[in-house]
Every structure is written in structure tokens, then in C-alpha cells.
């Protein structure tokens, strides 16, 4: 073999690789939705001179090629592997932690901004003195398990931050710091291997939500159901959640999703006001076969949901409750159906009405604000609360 042959291989190899990829790209059937990344892929951009002029066509076309590139999943996995081989411990803002845990980076928040969110809650409590208000602030996995971060990696302490928030709250509401009951839950049960958080997702597990439910019930003087009062069933053991989607790490152990089914079931009717859909189940099984499995709980995020539970009046702890929340509430809501007859659940990110008016119109006297620390510190929509 001479160097002449090697030159020919270079030329043939280079051209056939590029042209081969091009042919694959052209003839490969296109998918609309990427399960791996949990997002809609770019569609074939429509041609028009105005779109050329505004450069929108160019941007969309670049995205279209990247999104539908031949062997996309394999290339992404290769990159992830190479990044790990070079000892890189983060990708797209997601840490590759110990014990298979992924964590989202959490830096020092803007305390002035955060203070204004806390003040919004204070103001809401002051404007509604007749309302019995609880504020449950759950840490994220990065706050709970800082020792599982990669070696020498740092995150701003959510433990300190939650304390700071608690200290800034006025009286007139009950503050439940997630660290108080989650710490406790882990040690009291003497089962350190029980997961409070998903390893690959930003939510807490159903067990974490159960501990929150127990703490909330006790704070109101209700008697929470014990774990023995439930059939605990695994509904999925192949859950790779949002941290996996963002970080794109390969070779991770999938998470398990559990559901707690009360041995004395309560019939519930869920009404999704956004779409005017009604269901007799709090769960949507169809999501278990998709990437976004956490949406199994109530079918994901909705601006306003009401849940009516068939509990005899004399057995109910409460007639009406309003929950203002982020998605951490989704796995906790089913527990509350054992105590409250009417639950109204508002996602403040998508609901644009006035919360105070809503409570008045529906005769609600009890409210639970439930947020995780990470969304709370950056949730500008909380400022809507003031009124």
C-alpha cells in the first residue's frame, strides 16, 4: 500500500461519510417528538422570502438538521461518554453525583429578589387574616444530599436558605421547612436506602411526598394515615427524568415510581378546568409509557384543577382547601384526598386570576403554599400573590 492509496481513502472516506449522512438524513423517516429529550423536534422549515430575510429560515433549518441528524441518539451517547472519560462532572448544568444521583446546579440566589417573593407571601397572609395558611418549602435533592455532589463540587446551602426564608416570614402562617420532616423521615424509619428524591429527576419520590403529607397533617392536628394503611405499588421501574433529559448522561440506573393506594379507597373526581376534562382517577397511566413519567400524577401541570372526594362530612377533616404550588404537589395531592372533600389546586405559573378573589368566590378558608426551593427562588410569578 502506498501513500497514494491512503490519499484515496481519505478522499473516498470523507466524501462518502458526508454524502452518506446526507442520504440518511434525507431518506430517514422523521419523528416529531423526541422521547429521549422529551421535546418536540424542529419541523421542516417552511420556505418564504420573508423568513429568509429575517434569518428565521436559517435558524430553523440548522435546528432541523441537528434534531433529525442520523444516529442522533448514538452520537449524543458518544459525547456523554467522552465527557465522562475526561472527568467532566457536569453537562448542561447537571452534576453527575455519587450513587447514581444527578443534581441541578444551585448557586447563590439574588437575596433581594428572593426577599420580595417572601414579602409577597407575608402580604398575602396580612391581607387574608381569616385564612388558615401553611407554607411548605421542600428542598431539592441537591439541598438534601450535598455530600453526594461530585468531589469538591459546591452548591449553595438550601438548608441555610430555607432557614433564611423562614426567618423572614411574619407570623400569621405556619411554615413547614422540608428539612425538618425529610431529615427525620430518613432516620426514624431506619431505612437509609429509602429514596426521598428520584436520582434522575428533579421531583421528590412518593415516599418524600408521603413524609410531607404526614408533617402537614400533624401541623393541622389531623391524624395522618400510616404507611401500613396503603398498598405500595411500583408503577414504573424505567423512569429517567428531567435531570437525565438535560444532562444526557448514558448508563444511568432508572428510577422507580411508586404509588400509595389506600386500603380504604376514597372515590375522587378530578376536574381539569383548563381543558374542562373530568376523570375519576388522579393518575394518567398513559404517561408511564412516555419519557415524562412524573406526569403520571394528574397528567402533568395544569393551571387549575379541582378534586372532589367522597368522604362523609363527619369523617372529613376539612371541607375545602386551596393549594398554590409547583409540581412537587402532584405526588402529595393524592394523600390529601383522604382528609379533604374539596381540593382546589392552582399553579401560579399558569394561573392568571386573583388568588384572593378565587378563595372568596369558592368560600375557601384554608390554603397550602407548596414549593420546592429551586423554583421558589426564581418564581417571579409569586409576586402575583400580593393582592
Partner 1 sequence: MVFSSLLFLILFLPVVLILYYLSPRRIKNLMLFLASLVFYAWGEPIYIALMLFSTLTDYLFGLLLDRKGMSGKGRKAVLIASVIVNLGVLGFFKYADFLIANVNAVLGTAIPPTDLPLPIGISFYTFQSMSYIIDVYRRDSKAQRNWIDFATFVSLFPQLVAGPIVRYNTIAEQLKDRRVDAHMFAEGVRRFCIGLAKKVLLANNIGLLWNEVSAADSLSGLPVLTAWLGIIAFAFQIYYDFSGYSDMAIGLGLMFGFRFNENFNKPYTAISMTDFWRRWHISLGTWFREYVYIPLGGNRKGMTNQLRNILIVWLLTGIWHGASWNFLLWGLYFGVILIAEKLFLLRLLARLPRWMSHLYAVLLILIGWVLFAFENIGDVAAYISAMFGGNGIWFDRHSIYLLYTNAILLLLLVMGSLEWRGLIRSVQARLNGGIQNRSVADDITGSDGTRKAVNGKPASVVLPLLGLGWHAVLLLMSVAYLVDATFNPFLYFRF
Give the footprint of partner 1 on this chain (CB under 8 A). Answer: 1-11, 13-15, 17-19, 21-22, 25, 52-53, 55, 58, 61-62, 65-66, 69, 72, 75-76, 78-80, 82, 85-90, 92, 108, 150-154, 248
Q: Smallest distance, Å, CB 34 to partner 1? A: 12
Q: Sheet containing 102-104: which strands, arranged edge to edge?
A: 90-91, 94-96, 102-104
Which of 233, 249, 297, 304 has its CA nearest to residue 274? 304
What is the CA angle 346-347-353, rounded to 5? 65
Q: Smallest distance, Å, CB 298 to partner 1? A: 30
Q: Smallest distance, Å, CB 163 to partner 1? A: 21
- What is the biggest distance separating any 2 CA atoms in the chain, rounded to whole angstroms? 93
Q: Which helix (H) or strand (E) holds 187?
A: helix 178-188
- Distance between CA atoms of 368 and 173, rounded to whole angstroms? 10
Q: Smallest distance, Å, CB 373 to partner 1? A: 19
What residues have CB less than 8 Å from 277, skipping those under 6 apart?
A: 271
Q: Smallest distance, Å, CB 41 to partner 1? A: 13
| Residue 102 vs 307, nearer CB to partner 1 | 102
Give CA separation, 341 vs 61, 296, 306, 385, in Å: 52, 22, 10, 25
Q: Looking at residue 139, what DSSP letter applies?
A: P
| Residue 44 vs 66, nearer CB to partner 1 | 66
Strand residues in 211-328 grouped as ranges (E): 230-239, 255-262, 268-272, 277-279, 304-309, 318-325
| Residue 66 vs 289, nearer CB to partner 1 | 66
| Residue 2 vs 187, nearer CB to partner 1 | 2
| Residue 145 vs 328, nearer CB to partner 1 | 145
Q: Smallest distance, Å, CB 107 to partner 1? A: 9
| Residue 150 vs 356, nearer CB to partner 1 | 150
Cβ-contact 280, 268 below 8 angstroms:
yes
| Residue 40 vs 108, nearer CB to partner 1 | 108
Q: Smallest distance, Å, CB 87 to partner 1? A: 6
- Distance between CA atoms of 144 and 149, rounded to whole angstroms? 11
296 by DSSP, 3-state: which?
A: helix
- Exposure of 152 by Cβ count < 10 A (0-12 exposed, 13-18 middle, 19+ buried)? exposed
Q: Smallest distance, Å, CB 251 to partner 1? A: 16
| Residue 65 vs 126, nearer CB to partner 1 | 65
Amino acid at each position: 500500500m502506498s501513500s497514494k492509496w491512503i490519499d484515496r481513502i481519505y478522499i473516498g472516506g470523507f466524501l462518502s461519510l458526508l454524502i452518506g449522512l446526507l442520504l440518511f438524513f434525507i431518506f430517514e423517516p422523521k419523528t416529531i417528538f423526541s422521547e429521549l429529550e422529551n421535546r418536540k423536534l424542529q419541523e421542516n422549515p417552511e420556505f418564504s422570502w420573508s423568513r429568509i430575510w429575517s434569518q428565521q429560515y436559517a435558524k430553523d433549518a440548522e435546528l432541523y438538521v441537528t434534531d433529525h441528524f442520523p444516529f442522533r441518539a448514538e452520537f449524543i451517547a458518544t459525547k456523554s461518554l467522552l465527557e465522562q472519560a475526561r472527568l467532566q462532572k457536569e453537562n448542561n448544568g447537571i452534576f453527575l453525583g455519587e450513587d447514581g444521583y444527578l443534581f441541578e446546579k444551585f448557586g447563590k440566589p439574588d437575596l433581594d429578589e428572593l426577599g420580595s417573593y417572601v414579602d409577597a407571601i407575608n402580604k398575602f397572609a396580612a391581607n387574608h387574616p381569616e385564612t388558615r395558611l401553611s407554607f411548605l418549602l421542600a428542598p431539592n435533592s441537591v439541598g438534601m444530599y450535598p455530600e453526594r455532589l461530585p468531589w469538591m463540587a459546591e452548591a449553595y446551602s438550601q438548608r441555610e436558605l430555607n432557614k433564611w426564608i423562614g426567618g423572614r416570614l411574619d407570623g400569621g402562617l405556619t411554615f413547614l421547612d422540608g428539612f425538618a420532616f425529610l431529615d427525620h423521615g430518613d432516620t426514624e424509619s431506619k431505612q437509609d436506602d429509602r429514596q426521598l428524591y428520584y436520582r434522575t429527576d428533579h421531583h421528590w419520590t412518593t415516599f418524600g411526598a408521603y413524609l410531607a403529607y404526614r408533617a402537614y397533617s400533624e401541623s393541622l392536628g389531623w391524624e395522618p394515615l400510616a404507611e401500613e394503611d396503603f398498598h405500595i405499588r411500583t408503577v414504573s421501574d424505567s423512569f429517567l427524568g428531567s435531570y437525565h433529559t438535560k444532562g444526557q448522561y448514558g448508563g444511568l440506573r432508572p428510577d422507580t415510581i411508586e404509588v400509595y393506594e389506600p386500603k380504604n379507597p376514597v372515590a375522587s373526581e378530578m376536574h381539569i378546568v383548563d381543558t374542562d376534562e373530568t376523570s375519576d382517577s388522579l393518575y394518567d397511566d398513559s404517561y408511564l409509557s412516555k419519557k415524562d413519567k412524573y406526569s403520571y400524577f394528574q397528567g402533568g401541570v395544569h393551571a387549575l384543577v379541582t378534586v372532589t372526594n367522597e368522604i362523609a362530612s363527619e369523617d372529613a377533616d376539612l371541607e375545602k382547601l386551596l393549594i398554590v404550588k409547583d409540581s412537587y404537589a402532584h405526588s402529595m395531592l393524592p394523600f390529601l384526598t383522604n382528609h379533604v372533600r374539596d381540593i382546589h389546586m392552582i399553579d401560579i405559573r399558569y394561573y392568571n386570576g386573583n388568588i384572593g378573589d378565587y378563595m372568596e368566590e369558592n368560600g375557601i378558608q384554608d390554603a397550602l403554599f407548596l414549593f420546592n426551593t429551586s423554583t421558589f427562588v426564581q418564581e417571579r410569578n409569586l409576586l402575583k400573590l400580593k393582592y
